[in-house]
Amino acid sequence: MWYPSDKHELNQQLSQFLKTGKHKKPPIGVIIPHAGYEYSGAIAGQAFSLIKPNSIKKAIVVGPSHYVHLFEAATSNKEFWETPLGKIKIFNTDFPTGDIDSEHSIKNQIPFLQKLGIQEIMPLMIGKITEEQAEDIAKKISQIKAIYVFSTDLSHFLPYEQAVEKDKETIKIIESLDLNNFKFIDACGYFPLLVLLYLCKIKKTKPKLIQYKNSGDVTGDKDSVVGYASFWF
């Protein structure tokens, strides 16, 4: 499991992760890592805690496709998504549907959203899309009143110091919405981030880093690490 299967234990863990954030203005959206909670849950909580509980009813969760070859954006064909905290309703506008329940980049965000009082979600699994498709997806979701949750980890399986340098480059490109250098981003959520770039341009905002760490900071094993960062926008 990516997070505790016991409802009480999961609730306790989420409460701990959500203690830290302080922000005067609620964010439009957040960028969140999607590793197991023991690795990146606290980093995700730094961003989710900026969202005022019960302040908004809907969330759009945008994550990469890890297991399915896809060349578009697809949402769930189910009516509900279920976690140990219960069921949450799924809504859709006009996106294609499919069975996306196994996509951990999306499902790892759902308990946080349930804890924050979100009542409906639209999960969007993003495949290998073009810039034109990314812009079109951004235009569609920009019309929906919801909190936007973009899911990505950063570099994978590099030595610690090399990962830190590579992730600094990626973070700089994300914060500046630098389309010319976007191809240099090292992140499994590259295509969701491409949608984010166009969404931020529509909303006239930019991502701001909250916290960066990698798995080496958590486990102490720095031979081969995965990078995690959270942002708000």
SS3 readout for the chain: CCCCCCHHHHHHHHHHHCCCCCCCCCCCEEEECCCCHHHHHHHHHHHHCCCCCCCCCEEEEEEECCCCCCCCEEEECCCEEEECCEEEEECCCCCCEECCCCCHHHHCCHHHHHHCCCCEEEEEEECCCCHHHHHHHHHHHHCCCCEEEEECCCCEEECHHHHHHHHHHHHHHHHHCCHHHHHHCCCCCHHHHHHHHHHHHHHCCCCEEEEEEEHHHHHCCCCCEEEEEEEEC
Average pLDDT over residues 212-231: 96
pLDDT in tens, 79-130: 999 999 999 999 998 899 998 988 999 999 999 999 999 999 999 999 999 9
Q: How is the chain split into domains, by residue range?
A: 31-232
Q: Provide the terminal-to-terminal Cα distance of the chain, rounded to the nearest Å.
A: 29
Output the pLDDT for position 141.
98
CATH of domain 31-232: 3.40.830.10
The token pair at 39 is 């690795």
pLDDT in tens, 67-76: 888 899 999 9
**Does the pLDDT of residue 65 top 80, yes or no?**
yes
pLDDT in tens, 188-218: 999 999 999 999 999 999 999 999 999 999 9
Overall pTM > 0.85? yes
Output the pLDDT for position 73.
95
Output the pLDDT for position 118.
98
